[in-house]
A and B are shown apart, each in its own frame.
Chain A
Amino acid sequence: DTEVTQTPKHLVMGMTNKKSLKCEQHMGHRAMYWYKQKAKKPPELMFVYSYEKLSINESVPSRFSPECPNSSLLNLHLHALQPEDSALYLCASSQGFRSGGRAVREQFFGPGTRLTVL
């Protein structure tokens, strides 16, 4: 299985709602990523989990809360979002990297969740 799945495909939420995005992979990868992509722009990194621990947080507002319950799952909890947070949210996974090992891996992306905040 070389697929990264994301649910839901589309999500519409109000600014007071709480929702979650889910991502799953069964490739045995130990690094997982959340990206945000606005229209006609490249993906922007939000978070990186390595061996189920948060290793990179690119100064993302606290209204976005990531969670990695196990090596196959990655969640992004959303609360009190703003309309400017509307975007395509992409999950990716790659082989893990340990200190002193090869640090760069190709990332495999899911199809994304199209989020609209009203």
Chain B
Amino acid sequence: AQSVTQPDIHITVSEGASLELRCNYSYGATPYLFWYVQSPGQGLQLLLKYFSGDTLVQGIKGFEAEFKRSQSSFNLRKPSVHWSDAAEYFCAVGTYYGGSQGNLIFGKGTKLSVKP
């Protein structure tokens, strides 16, 4: 069965420090992978996506992610964190229903706190 694991429930980093959020997936075919960010009480905003091609993908707000098939991972990175990056981050894998429908399976999320 398809699944997404985010091993870190909560991460705290200092402002200006680098960030890496981990995501591992389990999926039988070529995965479609996404990172979303959610600020408290808000909807989810798409940061970046991977469908195929270059395994290093760039997203909005200075984020990037690297797809590593051998490790079944899609980790999110940012070289210098800003206080406004404090939020919940969800990794998701795209799935298929009945050969044509698609949906997302989300990881449990990683809460990012930023220290001044």
Residues of B within 8 A of A56 (CB): 97, 101, 103
- Interface flag for A21 (CB, 8 Å): no
Residues of B within 8 A of A43 (CB): 44, 90, 106
Interface string of B92-116 (1 = CB under 8 A from A): 0011110111111011110000000
Determine if A110 and B108 form an interchain contact, defined as CB atoms under 8 angstroms apart.
no
Q: A42-B106, A42-B107 are in contact. Are A50 and B101 (CB under 8 A)?
A: yes
- Interface flag for B45 (CB, 8 Å): yes
Give the residue name and chain of the A residue nearest to B111 (CB). Answer: A40
Question: Main SS of chain B's interface residues?
Answer: strand
- Interface flag for A45 (CB, 8 Å): yes
Residues of B within 8 A of A110 (CB): 43
Q: Which of A41, A90, A101, A103 contacts B44 (CB 8 A)?
A: A90
How many Å lie between the Cα of A8 and that of B29 in the bound state?
Answer: 39
Residues of A within 8 A of B99 (CB): 99-100, 103
Determine if A108 and B46 form an interchain contact, defined as CB atoms under 8 angstroms apart.
yes
B interface list, Cβ under 8 A from A: 32, 34, 36, 41-46, 49, 51, 90, 94-97, 99-104, 106-109
Given contacts A42-B108, A99-B99, A103-B99, could you give 15 more A-B pairs where the C-beta distance is less than 8 Å?
A42-B107, A43-B106, A45-B104, A56-B103, A97-B100, A99-B100, A100-B100, A103-B100, A104-B32, A104-B94, A104-B96, A104-B102, A109-B36, A109-B44, A111-B42
